[in-house]
A and B are shown apart, each in its own frame.
Chain A
Amino acid sequence: MEERQKAIQDRIREKARELLTNKAVDLIIGLGEGTLPLRATPIFIRNPEEADRLIWNSFCENNLATYLHKFSHSKVGIVLKGCDARSIIALSLEKRFKPDQLFLIGVPCQRMVDRRRVTKAVKGEILHAHEQGDQIIVEGEDFKTALKKNDFLYPSCQVCTHRTPVQANVWVGDPVEESPLVETHPEIKEFEKKSPEERWKYFEKESSRCIRCYACREVCPMCYCTECFVDSSNPRWIEKGLSPSDLEFYHIVRAYHQTGRCSGCGACERACPMEIRLTYLTQKLNLDVKEIFGFETGIDGDTPPPLSTYEIEDRQEFIK
């Protein structure tokens, strides 16, 4: 496993060096070493000498597609996992960047580790972590534990069936076998068993922790509105405080604004400081879209999202 990751890392660095030396791109957005264990951090390099800062491991969880809105005036090379590449395709359908603006470095993903669950599995602060085969070795001041990587993957990674980027200018690894670890998202499985009242109670409990930091919105590549509905003062759809109905409204509306556009990357849930479960909402909506419209976000670059288009043949039986 590590050899594969190391090989991918070398190839990412090689490609980055090449692109920057030939000035094929102005900038490469990739991931670099974090200062804390279990973390990588987005880095932005402009010189070939910096290419060795790029890394690849199972902590490379960030969806870098969200930075394209910031660097829309540059020619950008970007390192993408399968889910990130789907976001790019969804964005290209929405015409968020010019056709030749991007160079996509596609990485067939080995699934990302849920750093928060790892942290909770041990007692004490983790000071070092590294991958070894199919294990993660974590060390603290007075402990050293080996954890089985597959027990600590993000739910969105467990159900993923598009780990190889569907589109890229270059793939830095061989395509992976596209079978999910679990058929159904574990939280959706639980959610679907609940009655409507129980579902509401679960959602109410999760959203009650929200502190309106909007991290979910800012890390999402699909949230790029210059004025979000929460900021609108006329009409004022929602207040800025913490009243439960406002928190619920925000989460429901944001989930719905993603319907048919969300690639299921899980960046929203990973960003939330209050650990609010969010992917059960977005993934459930994605499943519904697949069932009703036969559409999956970001798989082909031609079919527009079903909720953004109108055809005469669209279902109308709900119009009475």
Chain B
Amino acid sequence: MKNPYFPIPMEVKKAYVETTDRMLRTLELGFLSQADEKAFHFIPGQFCELSVLGKGEAPFGIASSPKENGSLKFTINKAGVVTTALHHLEEGGKIGIRGPLGNGYPIDLFKGKNLLVIGGGFAFTTLRSLIAYLLHPENRSKVNEITVVYGARMPGLLLYKEELTQWEKRSDLKLVVTVDWGDKDWKGKVGLVPNVLEEVAPSSENTYAVICGPPIMIKFTFPKLMALRFPNERIYTSLEKRMKCGIGKCGRCNIGPLYVCKDGPVFSYAQLEKLPKDY
């Protein structure tokens, strides 16, 4: 019987720092066994538990899209013992992975609709997966208009900068990148995400919204979404919660009768309204 706690061995193919404060680092991981690679199917919004033997395990959203064959991309914020160990891994470093875990974004619901994506800071990881997946030629036609508002505190703290530049040039995507404070080289928008959203004012008709960001950003952006007449059933978010096993056994991440690791981490606000405010 398959042991769901047993990590699959992976290797670091590429590792590079994303942000100027050096706190965010992206790892591109390759499978060591072809069989494992073939068996690994995921959808945007899912996460994996990354293991550094001797240090521990921690959950990270998958930043790469399922259509980007080969490596899995994760962006890691240096915060504690495990993440510091992940930051010290170089190319060739060995790492374990368990996944894909979680429920992922409800892409079936987005079919034939418009999509509004709002991201803040380093919560953008799974949103990248979602956007890259939908921009793929095979998938682009599934969804109508895609609007993305992505903000960070400062230009140096934006993730996936090269990709953002490419995406800004696309005609099949409306991307607005903003920062709270600009610097002398920043030519783009300056403004807080909630305010920029108000400016962009996408129509809520036939549109789903996906929002991921720090609690303070969500707190001020949510009223703007209300003002734009987005109903709770059409606003989705990916919740952060302390996790351990990732498979709904250890009990740590429960909110009411749901486990964030198994029944989430993606929930609609309509679902969250019915749950206790344990997050």
Q: Closest residue to B56 on the A side, CB-wise?
A: A233
Q: How far is the CA of A234 from the CA of B56 in the complex (A)?
A: 13
Contacts of B81 in A (CB 8 A): 233-234
Contacts of A233 in B (CB 8 A): 80-81
Q: In chain B between 46 and 97, which residues have their CB closer than 8 angstroms to a CB of chain A? A: 80-81
Q: In chain A between 239 and 282, which residues have their CB closer than 8 angstroms to a CB of chain B? A: none
Q: How far is the CA of A11 from the CA of B132 in the complex (A)?
A: 74
Interface size class of A (residues with CB under 8 A): under 10
Q: In chain A between 137 and 178, which residues have their CB closer than 8 angstroms to a CB of chain B? A: none
Q: How far is the CA of A291 from the CA of B81 in the complex (A)?
A: 43
Contacts of B80 in A (CB 8 A): 233-234
Dominant SS at the A interface? loop
Interface size class of B (residues with CB under 8 A): under 10
Q: Closest residue to B82 on the A side, CB-wise?
A: A233
Q: Closest residue to B84 on the A side, CB-wise?
A: A234
Q: Report B7 CB to chain A, min CB distance, Å.
A: 20
Q: How far is the CA of A234 from the CA of B82 in the complex (A)?
A: 11
Q: How far is the CA of A233 from the CA of B81 in the complex (A)?
A: 7
Q: How far is the CA of A38 from the CA of B55 in the complex (A)?
A: 47
Q: How far is the CA of A233 from the CA of B80 in the complex (A)?
A: 9
Q: In chain A between 214 and 247, which residues have their CB closer than 8 angstroms to a CB of chain B? A: 233-234
Q: How far is the CA of A234 from the CA of B80 in the complex (A)?
A: 8
Q: In chain B between 238 and 279, which residues have their CB closer than 8 angstroms to a CB of chain A? A: none
Q: How far is the CA of A189 from the CA of B247 in the complex (A)?
A: 53
Q: How far is the CA of A247 from the CA of B81 in the complex (A)?
A: 24
Contacts of A234 in B (CB 8 A): 80-81
Q: How far is the CA of A240 from the CA of B147 in the complex (A)?
A: 48
Q: Report B114 CB to chain A, min CB distance, Å.
A: 45
Q: Report A315 CB to chain B, min CB distance, Å.
A: 39
Q: Closest residue to A233 on the B side, CB-wise?
A: B81
Q: Report B55 CB to chain A, min CB distance, Å.
A: 10
Q: Closest residue to A234 on the B side, CB-wise?
A: B81
Q: In chain A between 16 and 59, which residues have their CB closer than 8 angstroms to a CB of chain B? A: none
Q: How far is the CA of A234 from the CA of B81 in the complex (A)?
A: 7
Q: Mark B97-120, 1 if CB is under 8 A from A, else 0.
A: 000000000000000000000000
Q: In chain A between 185 and 235, which residues have their CB closer than 8 angstroms to a CB of chain B? A: 233-234
Q: How far is the CA of A233 from the CA of B83 in the complex (A)?
A: 13
Q: How far is the CA of A312 from the CA of B80 in the complex (A)?
A: 39
Q: How far is the CA of A245 from the CA of B189 in the complex (A)?
A: 59
Q: Closest residue to A236 on the B side, CB-wise?
A: B81
Q: Report B279 CB to chain A, min CB distance, Å.
A: 21
Q: How far is the CA of A30 from the CA of B81 in the complex (A)?
A: 43
Q: Report A241 CB to chain B, min CB distance, Å.
A: 15
Q: How far is the CA of A233 from the CA of B84 in the complex (A)?
A: 12
Q: Mark B211-245, 1 if CB is under 8 A from A, else 0.
A: 00000000000000000000000000000000000
Q: Report A264 CB to chain B, min CB distance, Å.
A: 38
Q: Report A292 CB to chain B, min CB distance, Å.
A: 39
Q: How far is the CA of A148 from the CA of B65 in the complex (A)?
A: 76
Q: Report A159 CB to chain B, min CB distance, Å.
A: 43
Q: How far is the CA of A8 from the CA of B81 in the complex (A)?
A: 54
Q: Report A232 CB to chain B, min CB distance, Å.
A: 11
Q: Report B81 CB to chain A, min CB distance, Å.
A: 5
Q: Report B87 CB to chain A, min CB distance, Å.
A: 14
Q: Report A167 CB to chain B, min CB distance, Å.
A: 41
Q: How far is the CA of A26 from the CA of B25 in the complex (A)?
A: 51
Q: Report B273 CB to chain A, min CB distance, Å.
A: 30
Q: How far is the CA of A234 from the CA of B78 in the complex (A)?
A: 14
Q: Report B18 CB to chain A, min CB distance, Å.
A: 24
Q: Report A80 CB to chain B, min CB distance, Å.
A: 36
Q: How far is the CA of A233 from the CA of B85 in the complex (A)?
A: 13
Q: Report B252 CB to chain A, min CB distance, Å.
A: 14
Q: Report B85 CB to chain A, min CB distance, Å.
A: 11
Cβ contacts A to B, 4 pairs, < 8 Å: A233-B80, A233-B81, A234-B80, A234-B81
Chain B contacts to A: CB under 8 angstroms: 80-81
Across the A-B interface, the 4 shortest Cβ-Cβ residue pairs: A233-B81, A234-B81, A233-B80, A234-B80
